[in-house]
Structure 1
Amino acid sequence: MKLLITGANGLLATNTIKHFLELGHSVKGLLRSKEKFLLPPHKNLELVQGDITDVSAVENAVNGCDAVIHIAALTSPDLPNYDSYYKVNVLGSENLVNSAIKHQLKRFIYVSSANTMGFGTLESPGTEKTPLKPPFTESLYAKSKLEGQEKLLSYADKINVITVNPTFMLGPYDGKPSSGEIILMGYGKKFIFYPPGGKNFVDVRDVALGISAALEKGKNRETYLLAGENLSYQEFFTKIVQRSETKTVMIKVPTQLLLVAGYGGDFIRKMAIKTSVSSANMKILSVKNYYSAKKAEEELGVHFQPIDQAIDNAIAWFQKNGKL
């Protein structure tokens, strides 16, 4: 099978490409810069430079493929308005599905986000049936991923569309770094200021396995949460400290202080200035947004390991590549 995988430079796409190449598939990776690609050349890998907002680039990428795994997305938390997210995460995704239908592809795997679903507690974690709720209803990124997800599922009468919704991913090949920045924030630091909330952490390689299982077993119009371990930020950073030789003091930042900073960020955003500080983002840091992968485990046959191995692999990769 020949697969088109978008966002090929990213953490998840790189690990997913590696997984499918090891299985013997051919992969076409769509990316904006070939120079930043982290894997070595492979006889079954073709890199195509382009952007999903460019219809001609999308047409060129989709041509000759059997299925699309759409991972590319605008994830930056610092953009002051919705238009940029909409252009990439909604319109760009629609470009891809229209091209896939035109070229008569059979399956389209859309990598969405757990943030499009409502979170739960440790005792009753969020599932695919939990409706989105505050503070994620205030997140421009979450709004765009949900709108993109709904847009793609509206084409499910013309092509099989399966959605996978990973939580917060960690692991090797995080070249930017993206989500792995949270490890760099804590590893080897004398002081760690952590928020009062928590989240679900998942090994990026388990997500790649989940995508592979969704391609093989996923049902049209279905959505699958790919979730690992639910941890408070205190618990997570404790794991980071345990892996460092530095004596670290951990300090909890009160919700009230985060909100003051967040409202200040809102004011700055009104002046069209980029900042990742906003009331929505600070509220998200203050809640424990926990999820369950029960549906994916039962229907796709995938299993999710504790996050420790992913942390170790990420640290080792960062050290090998001079980021730690």
Structure 2
Amino acid sequence: MKLLITGANGLLATNTIKHFLELGHSVKGLLRNKQKFVLPSHPNLELVQGDITDKSAVENAVKDCDAVIHIAALTAPDLPNYDSYYKVNVLGSENLVKSAINHQLKKFIYVSSANAMGFGTLENPGTETTPLKPPFTESLYAKSKLEAQEKLFSYADKIDVVMVNPTFMLGPHDGKPSSGEIILMGYGKKFIFYPPGGKNFVDVRDAARGISAALEKGENRETYLLAGQNLSYKEFFQKLVERSATKSVMIKVPRQLLLIAGYGGDFIRKLAIKTSVSSANMKILSVKNYYSAKKAEEKLGVHFHPIDQAIDDAIDWFHENGKL
């Protein structure tokens, strides 16, 4: 099978490409800059430079493929308005599914986000049927992913559309880095400031296997959470402390202090200045947004591991590539 995988130089896409190449598939990777791709060349891998908002680039990428795995997304937390997220995450996704239909592809795998689903507690974690709730209803990114899901499902009578919603991914090959930035923020630091909330952490290779299983077993119009281990930020950073030779002091940042900073960030955003500090983002850091992968485990047969190995392998990869 020949697969188009978008966002090819991102953490998840890179590990997904590696997974499918190991299975013997051919992969066409769509990305904006070939120079940032971190894997070695492979005879079954073709890199195509382009942007999902460019319809001609999308047509060229989809051509000759059997299925699309759409991972590319605008995830930047610092943009002050919704238009940029909408253009990439909604309209760009629509460009891809329309092209896939035009080329008579059979399956379209959309990688959304757990942020587009409602979270739960440690005792009652969020599932695919939990409705989105505050503070994620205030997140421009989450709003765009949810709108993209609805837009893509509107085409499910013309092509099989399957959604997978990973949580916060960690692991090797994080070239930017993206989510691995949380490791660089805490590993080896003398002082670690952590927020009061928590989140679900998933090994990026488990997420890649989840995508593979969704391609094989996922049903049209269905959504599957790809979730690993629920941890408070304190518990997560303690894992980094255990792996470092540095004697770190951990300091909890109070919710009220985060909110004060967030409202200040809101004012800065009104001046059209980019900042990742906003009331929505600070509220998100203050809640424990936990999820369950029970449906993916039962329906797709995917097993999700504790996050420890992903942390170890991410640290090793950052060391090997001069980021630590």
Could you state the TM-score of these two structures normalised by the residue count of structure 1? Answer: 1.00
- 2:320 aligned partner: 320
**1:266-319 residue CA offsets vs partner (Å, 9 max, x unmatched):** 000000000000000000000000000000000000010000000000000000
Distance in 2, Cα, partners of 1:103 & 1:281: 40
- 2:111 aligned partner: 111
AA at the equivalent of 2:251 = I
- 1:87 aligned partner: 87
**1:113-168 residue CA offsets vs partner (Å, 9 max, x unmatched):** 00011000000000000000000000000000000011001100000000000000
Question: What RMSD in Å do the two structures reach over aligned CA positions?
Answer: 0.2
- 1:34 aligned partner: 34
Distance in 1, Cα, partners of 2:239 & 2:43: 39
Distance in 1, Cα, partners of 2:92 & 2:143: 15
Which consecutive residues of structure 1, in runs of 5 or more, have no partner in the other structure?
Answer: none
**1:193-213 residue CA offsets vs partner (Å, 9 max, x unmatched):** 000000000000000000000
- 1:235 aligned partner: 235
User: 1:264 and 2:258 equivalent?
Assistant: no
Task: Map 1:18-97; keep pairs closer than 5 Å.
Answer: 18-97=18-97
User: 1:255 and 2:255 equivalent?
Assistant: yes
- 1:120 aligned partner: 120
AA at the equivalent of 2:207 = V
Q: Which runs of 4+ in 1 moved over 3 A?
A: none
Secondary structure of 1:322's match?
coil
Could you state the TM-score of these two structures normalised by the residue count of structure 2? Answer: 1.00
How far does residue 233 in structure 1 lie from its aligned partner after superposition?
A: 0.2
Distance in 1, Cα, partners of 2:102 & 2:38: 31
Secondary structure of 2:209's match?
helix
**1:27-51 residue CA offsets vs partner (Å, 9 max, x unmatched):** 0000000011001110000000000
User: 1:147 and 2:147 equivalent?
Assistant: yes
- 1:301 aligned partner: 301
Task: Map 1:158-169; keep pairs closer than 5 Å.
Answer: 158-169=158-169
**1:187-244 residue CA offsets vs partner (Å, 9 max, x unmatched):** 0000000000000000000000000000000000000000000000000000000000
User: 1:136 and 2:145 equivalent?
Assistant: no
Secondary structure of 1:48's match?
strand
Distance in 2, Cα, partners of 1:64 & 1:39: 23
How far does residue 76 in structure 1 lie from its aligned partner after superposition?
A: 0.2
Matched positions, count: 324
Distance in 1, Cα, partners of 2:118 & 2:33: 35
- 2:11 aligned partner: 11
